[in-house]
Amino acid sequence: MTSVSSVSQPEVPKKNLAARLIGVIFSPGQTFRTVVAHPTWIGAMLAVTLVVAAGNFALLSTEVGQQALLDQQIRSMESWGMTVTAEQQAAMEHRLPMSRYITFVTILVISPIVTFIVAGLLFAVFNAGLGGDASFKQVLAVVTHGGAVSIVAALFTLPLNYARESMSGATNLGVFVPFLEEGSLPARFLGMIDLLLVWSVIVLAIGLAVLYKRRTGPVALSLLGAYAGIAAVIAGVMRAFAGSH
């Protein structure tokens, strides 16, 4: 691939945080040109992290949310081949009132760490591996603004989970194939392919394509392929681990 410069373009007008986050949803290409030219990232990271954390806190402050979390935890343990005893379930129920605080703090801590890791990996791949010359700050700005999709996802899925009284994914491909045997490899794999996450990956690909001046299609296919590969590995490990119990 031909490497190109991603030097900031001062002629691109600067937008405020709200305009950038909304623009990522409705006009990502144009918005990412602004983000690349003016690579600020702290505001976007704080906005995404706080909205997602606050949304989960609100859901887990309800009895419906707490019961849904308990059901999800039990199903998750069973999917790995574990048997949940009555004592274990009682202990989990005892911790439910604290789950909102634990989840809130966990999101506040883990979300920025994951963001930096993803930005670092992409910076290494595109700069060191493919000869790009973007700054880490630009890559980080693209990744953090791509998180605008997470805000939309939270505003959509959290009320839906409350209405469904379930924390299980309502937007993964597994819901379209209920005829597959539960716990089978195909069912586990499709259950990990979330349509909102696919959207997030595509938006990120658009941002990277703008930053490195590449075609969006190949970048998106590469990222989606990596996502599918990771999902396949995890599904395989879960299936093997469950089968050994």
Q: What is the CA radius of gyration of the chain?
A: 20
Domain count, the chain: 1
Q: Band the pLDDT of 10: cuts 50, 70, 90.
A: low
pLDDT at 6 over 70: no
Distances 222 to 19, 154, 205, 236, 239 between C-alpha atoms, Å? 29, 26, 9, 21, 26
**Chain centroid, CA 62 distance in Å:** 24
Is residue 8 assigned to a domain? no
Query: 235-244 pLDDT, tens per residue?
Result: 888 777 765 5
* Residues 138-186: tens digit of each pLDDT: 999 999 999 999 999 999 999 999 998 888 777 888 888 888 887 788 8
Q: Is residue 192 part of a domain?
A: yes
Residue 155 lies in a domain: yes
pLDDT of 5 higher than 70? no
Q: Is residue 27 part of a domain?
A: yes
Q: What is the mean pLDDT of residues 25-48?
A: 96
Instruction: Answer yes or no: is 24 within a domain.
Output: yes
- For residue 185, is it within any domain? yes
* pLDDT at 179 (0 to 100): 83
Taking residues 37-46, what's their average pLDDT? 96
Asked, for residue 4, whether it belongs to a domain, the answer is no
Q: Report how far apart, in Å, the C-alpha atoms of 18 and of each of 13, 68, 108 are.
A: 15, 32, 20
**The predicted structure's pLDDT at residue 129:** 87
pLDDT at 4 over 70: no
**Residue 61 forms part of a structural domain:** yes
What range defines the domain where residue 174 resides? 17-243
- pLDDT of 29 reads 95
CB 76 within 8 A of CB 241: no
Percentage of the chain exceeding pLDDT 70: 94
Range picked from 13-22, 89-98, 174-183 for highest mean pLDDT = 13-22
